[in-house]
């Protein structure tokens, strides 16, 4: 591993280095290109196709007009630091000192990168769930860590407690979670989170919890950050972002929170990655975080409806689906249409149904990729009319193709 250049470690970590050591294009790029070429509906990449709340958009325009256009402070504009602290208090009862225990970052992506680069030593193990968001593997590689995974096993993608116990050892530096989980939509249950905290104590590991889908949660399930569990707060960094909650993925305003001493170490790295970003967008996201409860309930209800709409279309097409409790992805099983290889179905789906998805194997190492080879992820964060069209086209498919 150490003989590889940093870019190779990143690419290998994200499963983008092929057998000859060349950088392979991501499946997302391949599938988006396919959607563009064929005019198919792109349910592959997870970004919304509608603007977020007008108050938030207007606040950004106003901030530009008001001259909020130069470098903000390194930790973030106080108005956003305070809004993050107030949000954590309002929704979860978490008390944070905004000036010491919160850090604004260039999206959750930079929060994760800075955290791992700051806290992982060469050879340290980082435990993640699998399938995993591709940037996890890349930044573990960049930080010279060893990536250890705990598989989420179907049909409902639960964490096996024995597998979790085996994965976390004295070599573990960080347990990196994603709750709610992309790509499976799983929300971690309380028993699993308790076990994670217990193992972190037992092996003196830190917990990093990526909660970018904290408000995109369904069926009356509530999001409980792992940092609220007894004994967790003093060893947990919680990461989130405005991108998913306010449909502003292009603004790249994220943040992290946790113990002041850890935040300071992460700041030491973060300030030399981007230094700062998105000055006029920071007060706008602060406005978003302060929106009334009805906004947050509304986005969850709207998205739950969209989940049900697309799921019904997939089922009508003959594809069994998971029932995600959070995030904006649903997982379908290509075997319902006689495909063992989801990648093969994904390549043919544009001509069969005018729809594009991505194979779950893109989020897995080789072992689990084989086990999950028939699963496809579809994003339902799209306009209702787009999802209705996708569902109707899918429903026109018949098994036995």
Ligand X SMILES: *Cc1c(COP(=O)(O)O)cnc(C)c1O
**Cα 389–chain centre separation:** 26
Assess 380 for contact with ligand X (CB under 6 A): no
Which positions from 261 through 300 interact with ligand X, judged by CB under 6 A?
none
Taking the complex as a whole, the smallest distance from the CB of residue 346 to ligand X amounts, in Å, to 19
d(CA 290, CA 284): 10
- State the nearest-atom distance from the C-beta of 105 to ligand X, in Å: 8
Q: Nearest approach, Cβ of 314 to ligand X (angstroms)?
A: 20
DSSP letters for 220-288:
T-----GGGSTTTGGGEEEEEEHHHHTT-TTT-EEEEE--HHHHHHHHHHHTTTTSS--TTHHHHHHHH
Q: Is there binding between residue 255 and ligand X (CB under 6 A)?
A: no
Smaller CB distance to ligand X: residue 328 or 372? 328
Is 243 one of the binding residues for ligand X (CB under 6 A)? Answer: yes
Output DSSP code: residue 217: B
DSSP secondary structure string, 362-374? GGS-HHHHHHTTT
Say which residues have a Cβ less than 8 Å from residue 111's Cβ, sequence separation at least 6. 103, 105, 239, 241, 254, 255, 256, 266, 270
The residue with its CB nearest to ligand X is: 107
Please report, as residue ranges, which positions from 222 to 241 form the binding site for ligand X (by CB under 6 A).
Answer: 241
CA–CA dist 331, 141 (Å, integer)? 27
Binding ligand X (rule: CB under 6 A), the pick from 48, 225, 254, 318 is 254
Contact between 318 and ligand X by CB under 6 A: the answer reads no
CA dist 242 and 84 (Å) reads 10
Can you tell me the distance from the alpha carbon of 310 to that of 312, in angstroms, rounded to the nearest whole number?
A: 5
Query: Which of these segments, 103-111, 166-174, 193-201, 381-389, binds ligand X (CB under 6 A)?
Result: 103-111
Looking at 148-156, 158-166, 246-254, 345-353, which segment touches ligand X (CB under 6 A)? 246-254
Assess 109 for contact with ligand X (CB under 6 A): yes
Return the range that interacts with ligand X (CB under 6 A); candidates 101-109, 169-177, 265-273, 384-392: 101-109
Of 19-27, 107-115, 276-284, 359-367, the window that binds ligand X (rule: CB under 6 A) is 107-115
Compute the least distance from the CB of residue 212 to ligand X, in Å: 5
Q: Residue 307 CB, nearest distance to ligand X (Å)?
A: 16
Question: Is 210 a binder of ligand X (CB under 6 A)?
Answer: yes
CB of 14 to ligand X, least distance (A): 13
String of contacts with ligand X for each residue 132-151, x by CB under 6 A: -x------------------
Q: How far apart are CA 182 and CA 187, in angstroms?
A: 10
Q: Read out DSSP for 194-207?
A: HHHHHHHHHTT-EE
Q: How far is the CB of 104 from ligand X (least distance, A)?
A: 11
| Both tokens assigned to 10 | 């990143």
Closest contact distance (angstroms) between CB of 326 and ligand X is 11
With respect to ligand X, which residue has the nearer C-beta, 46 or 318? 46
Q: Which residues contact 46 (CB under 8 A, 6 or more apart)?
A: 182, 328, 329, 379, 381
Shortest spacing between CB 348 and ligand X, in angstroms: 26
From the list 265, 273, 256, the residue with the least C-alpha distance to 102 is 256
Cα–Cα distance, 283 to 224 (Å, whole number): 26
Residues of this chain that bind ligand X (CB under 6 A)? 107-109, 133, 178, 182, 210, 212, 241, 243, 249, 252, 254
């Amino acid at each position: 591993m150490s003989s590889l250049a940093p870019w190779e470690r990143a690419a290998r970590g994200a499963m983008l280095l092929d057998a000859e050591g060349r950088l392979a294009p991501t499946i997302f790029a391949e599938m988006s290109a396919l959607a563009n070429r064929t005019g198919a509906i792109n349910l592959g990449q997870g970004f919304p196709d509608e603007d977020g709340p007008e108050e938030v958009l207007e606040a950004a325009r106003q901030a530009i007009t008001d001259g909020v256009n130069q470098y903000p402070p390194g930790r973030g504009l106080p108005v956003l630091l305070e809004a993050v602290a107030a949000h954590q208090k309002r929704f979860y009862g978490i008390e944070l000192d905004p000036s010491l225990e919160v850090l604004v970052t260039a999206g959750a992506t930079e929060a994760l990168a800075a955290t791992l680069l700051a806290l992982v030593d060469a050879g340290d193990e980082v435990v993640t769930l699998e399938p995993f968001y591709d940037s996890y593997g890349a930044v573990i590689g960049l930080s010279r860590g060893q990536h250890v995974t705990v598989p989420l096993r179907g049909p409902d993608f639960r964490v096996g407690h024995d597998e979790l116990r085996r994965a976390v050892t004295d070599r573990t530096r960080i347990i990196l979670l994603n709750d709610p989980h992309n790509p499976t939509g799983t929300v971690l249950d309380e028993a699993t989170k308790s076990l994670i905290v217990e193992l972190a104590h037992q092996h003196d590991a830190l917990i990093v919890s990526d909660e970018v889908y904290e408000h995109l949660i369904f069926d009356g399930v509530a999001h409980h950050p792992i940092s609220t569990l007894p004994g967790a707060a003093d060893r947990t960094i919680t990461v989130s972002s405005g991108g998913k909650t306010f449909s502003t993925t292009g603004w790249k305003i994220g943040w992290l929170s946790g113990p002041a001493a850890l935040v300071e170490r992460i700041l030491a790295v973060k300030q030399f990655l981007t230094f700062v970003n998105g000055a006029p967008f920071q007060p706008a996201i602060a406005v978003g975080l302060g929106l009334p409860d009805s906004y947050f309930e509304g986005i969850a209800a709207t998205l739950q409806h969209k989940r049900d709409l697309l799921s019904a279309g997939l089922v009508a097409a003959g594809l069994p689906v998971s029932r995600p409790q959070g995030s904006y992805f649903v997982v379908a099983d290509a075997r319902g249409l006689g495909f063992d290889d989801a990648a093969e179905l994904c390549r043919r789906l544009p001509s069969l149904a005018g729809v594009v998805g991505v194979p779950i194997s893109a989020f897995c190492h080789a072992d689990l990729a084989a086990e999950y080879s028939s699963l496809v992820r579809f994003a339902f964060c799209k306009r209702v009319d787009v999802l209705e069209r996708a569902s109707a086209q899918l429903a026109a498919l018949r098994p036995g193709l």
